[in-house]
């Protein structure tokens, strides 16, 4: 289990990055980006930031976030009371897309099942 300090730092990074990306980033590629989770190593040296986009995965967004890394870390340094701000890595979170896909498959299976049962009910008995 992660220690309490790394969890608190992760929560604060999540909050602050969300605010920085919403208010201070001017890059249009960032529009529609949502941070879902931040995972901080126990030594507080690294932070993995999980995100999604309204338009789906884009290699350009990871590149844009990579270019903005220094800016983001310096903004975090100003907002947080840490000796060292963790190095940020950004990871596209595919779990939401997978969840939507699974929901669609389930809905389709339920509809197919209803049609199948309806066809059986309409079949002549005899």
Using DSSP's 3-state secondary structure scheme, residue 40 falls into strand
Domain match, 42 and 55 both: yes
Q: What are phi and psi of 45, to 5 degrees?
A: -85, -30
Per-10-residue mean pLDDT of the chain, 126 residues long, equals 83 95 86 90 94 78 87 94 90 76 82 76 62
- What is the domain extent for residue 57? 4-93
Domain match, 50 and 104 both: no
Given this model, what pLDDT does residue 73 score?
A: 94
Domain match, 64 and 98 both: no
Given this model, what pLDDT does residue 13 score?
A: 96
Given this model, what pLDDT does residue 97 score?
A: 67
Given this model, what pLDDT does residue 125 score?
A: 65
Domain match, 11 and 26 both: yes
Q: How far apart are CA 102 and CA 14, in angstroms?
A: 27
Structural domain count of the chain: 2
pTM for the predicted model, two decimal places: 0.73
Given this model, what pLDDT does residue 66 score?
A: 86
Domain match, 20 and 81 both: yes
Burial of 54 (C-beta count, 10 Å sphere; 0-12/13-18/19+): exposed
Using DSSP's 3-state secondary structure scheme, residue 65 falls into helix
Given this model, what pLDDT does residue 57 score?
A: 67
Q: How far apart are CA 103 and CA 89, in angstroms?
A: 30
Domain match, 38 and 51 both: yes
């Amino acid at each position: 289990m992660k220690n309490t300090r790394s969890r608190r730092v992760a929560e604060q990074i999540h909050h602050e990055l969300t605010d920085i990306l919403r208010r201070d980033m001017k890059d249009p590629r960032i529009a529609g980006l949502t941070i879902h989770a931040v995972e901080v190593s126990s030594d507080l040296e690294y932070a993995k930031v999980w995100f999604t986009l309204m338009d789906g995965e884009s290699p350009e967004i990871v590149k844009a976030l990579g270019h903005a890394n220094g800016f983001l870390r310096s903004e975090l340094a100003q907002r947080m009371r840490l000796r060292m701000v963790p190095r940020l890595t950004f990871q596209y979170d595919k779990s939401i897309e997978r969840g939507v896909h699974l929901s669609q498959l389930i809905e389709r299976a339920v509809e197919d099942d209803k049609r199948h049962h309806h066809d059986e009910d309409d079949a002549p008995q005899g």
